[in-house]
Structure formats: C-alpha cells, structure tokens
Chain A
Amino acid sequence: MSLNPASPAPPPAPAIQLPADWRDFLALTKPRVMSLVVFTGLCGLLAAPGHINPVLGFTAILCIALGAGGAAALNQWWEADIDALMKRTARRPLPTGRMARTDARDFGIALSCASVGIMGLAIHWLAAVVLAISIVYYAVVYTIWLKPRTPQNIVIGGGAGAFPPLIGWIAVTGEVTAMPVLLFAIIFLWTPPHFWALALFVRTDYANAGIPMLPVVAGQAATRRQILLYSLVLLPVTLAPWAIGGTGAIYGLAALALSALFVVLALPVAFRRSGDGDPMRPEKRLFGYSVLYLFALFGALVVDRMVLA
C-alpha cells in the first residue's frame, strides 16, 4: 500500500448512477470483518459446555452475523464522509454514491433489529440482550461517540468485536461464567495491537480524515510501545483459560506458542524508528500475523474442547 500523503483523493463518482446492487448491500456488512466475527462466535458456541441443536446453533451464528452486518452498515452510514477521504475506504458504496445514505441506515437498523429479535425468540433472551449491547456499543459508543474524539478509540471500541464468543457461549449455556469473559478479554486485548499495527502504515489516511488514531495523535514511538505492552499483557490472559481449568493442554500449549510469537513479532515493531518511504514490513507482518493468530487461537480452543469431549 502506498503511503504517499498526496494520493488519497476519492475516485470520481460514476457518470451514470445505477441503483444499489445486492453486492453493495453485502459490502455494507463488511464481509471480511464478519468472517472473523462469525468464526469467534462459532468457536464460543462450540467450546461451551453443553449441547445445542444444530439448527439452533446455525441460527445463533446467523444472528451474530446479521447483527455484525447491521452494525457495520450503521458504521458506514455514519462515516460516509470520512470514508470518502481515505484511500482504503473510498470505494465503498456510500462514498462512491452508489447508494443513498438513508438506505444504508435503514438496512443497518433492519438487520440489527431482526438479528436481536430472532436471537431472543429462537435461542435465548440473554444472548439477544448481549447482542443488542454489542450492536449499540459498535454503532453508537464506538462509531459516533469515541472514534472521532479520543486516541483510545480502538481500546474501548475493541469491546464491540469481543462480544461474539460471549454471545455464542451464552446461546448454549444461557449464562455468563469466567470462561466466556476470558474469551471476551482475549479479543479485547488483541484489538489494540492489531489495529495500531495497521494504523502505523496507513496513518496518513487517518490523519487526512481527521481521525485521532494513536499514531496520529501520540506519535509512532508511543504507539510502538503500546503495541508491545498490549502483546505482553495478552500472553498471560490467553493462558488464563488453561490456568483456571477451562481448557486442556492442547489449547494451553497452542496459546503459549501463538502468543509468544505475537510478542516476538511485536518486538521489532516496538524497537525501530521509521521515516518517510519506509516499507513498514515489521508492522505489516505483525498485522497479518494478528489475524492468523486469532483464527489459530480460537481454532485451538475448539479442537481442545472436542478432544476433551
């Protein structure tokens, strides 16, 4: 990705405005982010003690996906102006003018309400309440309130992405115990280093859009220190499910290896300086690994549970 600060001009609007296609509505739900949400939600559901009918389990995951999609649509509705200023987001349906803003808002509200309603009626009302909290947390607390105001936006907003395994767990057990709270904490602590690694190599985009991301406000050195700090805190927290006896050694050893590698990759990010035209390879490597890390960690949790079962 180019870091030329002069380049992030939005693409010109097409001469002929076609009505929004179904692909535009799908893009509004941020499918790539949704895949991670669905995966962690599914892992929470599969790792929970107890049994859920496959149809109800599928419905619970569908509700988590619909809720995440609805929250993402509301996020894009609110941030359409900001998205138009950033190269990474300028081609989304709203900045390019392929869709009316009110359509995105209505689509987001409809998906959100449907997901909470179906979750409550078909699965469990506690899971529906937590799903509703996660949608409001992302769409209102993070997107509207915190993101444009504080460089700690990612830290607090990370809570929104941490809900899916908790919801999946509650869908099976109907209660909140220490294990799902730890799964929540893992994603909560994983989010800042994941996003700050990204923010380091797209910081000019964020600066141009006026979003107070940590590298823009506090500088690169402070961001690099924070990435290492969160990586170090993340390691023992990922081991906590094993320590309290919630998982077996398969998960424990996988968590130890994966989190140790996370710290190892965070070290060169923390102890380097970068200038203009820097390819930012350690940052990109950490960002790429952080996505793989979460998939592998939660995958290990499910494998461990199945072996124990």
Chain B
Amino acid sequence: MNLREQDEAIRRTRRNRNRALGLFLLFLVVLFYAITFVKFGA
C-alpha cells in the first residue's frame, strides 16, 4: 500500500466511523422524542 492509498484508507475509515456515530446519535434523538411522547403525551 503506497502513501496515497494509505491516506485514502485512513480517510475512508474515519468517514465510516463518523457516519456510524452520526446514525447512532440520530437514533438516540428519535428515541428521546419517542420516550417523551410515551411518558408525557403529545
């Protein structure tokens, strides 16, 4: 793996990780609203 491929691989890994974290946080936000709705009504 040359330097450019290595750089690309690192960027791709970071991007995937950030996407996964973003999706998880989005899921928690949706869950927060769902719990609030269930516990306290509309």
Binding site for B on A (CB under 8 A): 16, 18-22, 25, 53, 55-56, 59, 62, 122
Contacts and interface: CB of A to CB of B under 8 A. Distances in A.
A122 B37 CA distance: 11
B20 A22 contact: yes
Contacts, number: 36
Nearest to B34: A55
A18 B10 contact: yes
Q: Is the interface of B mostly helix, strand, loop or mixed?
A: helix
A18 B9 contact: yes
A53 B1 CA distance: 52
B31 interface: yes
Contacts of B10: 18-19
A59 B17 contact: no
A62 B35 CA distance: 13
B6 to A, nearest CB: 6
Contact of A55 (B13, B17, B20, B35): B35
Interface string B11-26: 0011011011100000
B17 to A, nearest CB: 5
Nearest to A53: B38
A229 to B, nearest CB: 44
Contact of B38 (A25, A55, A62): A55
Contacts of A22: 16-17, 19-21
Contact of A18 (B13, B31, B38, B39): B13
B35 A56 contact: yes
A16 to B, nearest CB: 6
A178 to B, nearest CB: 29
A62 B16 CA distance: 23
Contacts of B38: 53, 55-56
Contacts of A25: 17, 20
B17 A122 contact: no
A22 B20 CA distance: 7
A20 B9 CA distance: 11
Given A22-B16, A59-B35, 5 more contacts: A16-B6, A21-B16, A25-B20, A55-B34, A55-B37
A21 B12 CA distance: 9
A56 B35 CA distance: 7
Given A53-B38, A56-B38, A19 B14 contact: yes
B9 to A, nearest CB: 6
Contacts of A19: 10, 13-14, 17
